[in-house]
Amino acid sequence: MHAFSSLALPAPFLANLASLGYQEMTAIQAAGLPAVLSGRDLIAQAKTGSGKTATFGIGLLQKLNPRYFGIQALVLCPTRELADQVANELRRLARHLDNVKVLTLCGGVPMGPQIGSLEHGAHIVVGTPGRIQDHLYRQTLDLSHIGTLVLDEADRMVDMGFVDDIGRIVEACPARRQTLLFSATYPDSIRRIAAPFLRDPLEIKVESQH
Ligand code: ADP
Ligand code: MG
């Protein structure tokens, strides 16, 4: 058994996890979180429902400075539906922190309101690669203060043709950052694409769900 309380997290963070019903870590959380919290890059292969969101969410929130109102973490997801799910889970995981702003940026909706939201500021952006790249191109999104970059469901993003967008987004992030990659499958094609984005990553593979 791996209790969240075995992690070096502040008491309010642990209390919030307990209030969400998070007592024991899932297998991927137990294998990945110590490395993530130490600042290491991670490649994690695990299927749906294994608790990947908290594996990167706890890591990026623990590093976040809520008093600095700039984008410190970027999570790339293949679809709007997944981006919304991740953003909502991050908001729940951040309840012990003061006013952490999580903004979703996905395609299929007008740019104007998103640009307005970006002008108001955010701590965390969750979005799809095409729309994030659009904002970079228009210079409406500043990724120069990103400390954590997450590629969620990387295999699906590659299947959907987002490789070039992801490459340009990674280039706009600081070289000095933590990169966390999650994928249900990890074929050689994704390994080759991912290699330049990660530095000495811990690679973990979890077969069972818990
Ligand atoms: P994945 O991204 O691997 O598909 P999620 O991160 O979406 O999985 O988690 C699946 C569900 O399990 C979510 O409802 C989440 O709140 C819940 N969950 C994740 N980790 C834990 C945990 N340690 N204890 C209890 N519930 C958890
Ligand atoms: Mg997920």
Residue 167 lies in a domain: yes
Residue 189 clears pLDDT 90, i.e. is over it: no
Ligand 1 contacts CB of residue 114 (under 6 A): no
Residue 175 lies in a domain: yes
Which of ligand 1's atoms lies nearest the C-alpha of 92? 16
Ligand nearest to the CA of residue 52, numbered in listed order: 1
Q: What's the mean pLDDT when you consider all of the chain?
A: 96
Residue 44 lies in a domain: yes
Ligand 1 contacts CB of residue 183 (under 6 A): no
pLDDT of residue 84: 98
Residue 210 lies in a domain: no
DSSP string, 30-77: HHHHHHHHTT--EEEE--TTS-HHHHHHHHHHHH--TTS-S--EEEE-
Give me ligand 1 centre to Cα 93, in Å. Answer: 11
Confidence of residue 58 (pLDDT cuts 50, 70, 90): very high
* Mean pLDDT across 54-76: 97
Per-residue pLDDT of 147-176, as tens digits, reads 999 999 999 999 999 999 999 999 999 999
pLDDT of residue 20: 97
**What six digits make up the tokens of 11?**
């008491």
Residue 125 lies in a domain: yes
CATH code for the domain in which residue 116 is found: 3.40.50.300
Which of 95, 103, 198 has its CA nearest to residue 143?
103
Per-residue pLDDT of 14-33, as tens digits, reads 999 999 999 999 999 999 99
Residue 7 lies in a domain: no
Angstrom distance (rounded) from CA 24 to CA 45? 20
Ligand 1 contacts CB of residue 53 (under 6 A): yes
Which of ligand 1's atoms lies nearest the C-alpha of 54? 6
pLDDT of residue 96: 97
Number of separate domains in the chain? 1
Structural domain boundaries, residue 76: 24-205
Give me ligand 2 centre to Cα 72, in Å. Answer: 20
Residue 25 gets which letter from DSSP? P
Ligand 1 contacts CB of residue 1 (under 6 A): no
Per-residue pLDDT of 110-150, as tens digits, reads 999 999 999 999 999 999 999 999 999 999 999 999 999 99
**Which residue, by CA, sits nearest to atom 18 of ligand 1?**
51
Residue 17 lies in a domain: no
Distance of CA 179 to the CA centre of its chain: 9
**Which residue, by CA, sits nearest to atom 1 of ligand 1?**
49
Residue 11 lies in a domain: no
pLDDT of residue 208: 64
Confidence of residue 79 (pLDDT cuts 50, 70, 90): very high
* Mean pLDDT across 62-67: 96
Confidence of residue 186 (pLDDT cuts 50, 70, 90): confident
Ligand nearest to the CA of residue 44, numbered in listed order: 1
CA triple 134-137-138, angle to 5 deg: 90
